[in-house]
Amino acid sequence: MRHDLPAAAVHHPEWPIRLDHCFGRVILDAICGAPWREVVAPPAWRHLTPDQLARAVHLADAILADEADLAALNRASLALRRSVAIGR
């Protein structure tokens, strides 16, 4: 996730994100169903359950294979974060 996705972004100008931490945010928010830091203590790689880790790897692979809609995942992540910020 940290290297492969940003490297692939060079070949995908339609992808809305490019940086490793943005891919991490999108993937972790998707598997947690909330801003990930509200579910998993940082650093995430150390605190994810085996199931969460497997789901994160699967989603990262799906993004790389163009089998997941990265733009939709990014919008969903940002919407989750907006709703949490508004609720505070």
**How much is the average pLDDT of 40-45?**
96
Domain count, the chain: 1
pTM of the model: 0.93
Residue range(s) defining the domain that contains residue 54: 4-87
Q: Is 43 exposed, middle or buried (0-12, 13-18, 19+ CB in 10 A)?
A: exposed
C-alpha 38/C-alpha 60 separation (Å) is: 21
Report whether pLDDT(88) > 70.
Answer: no
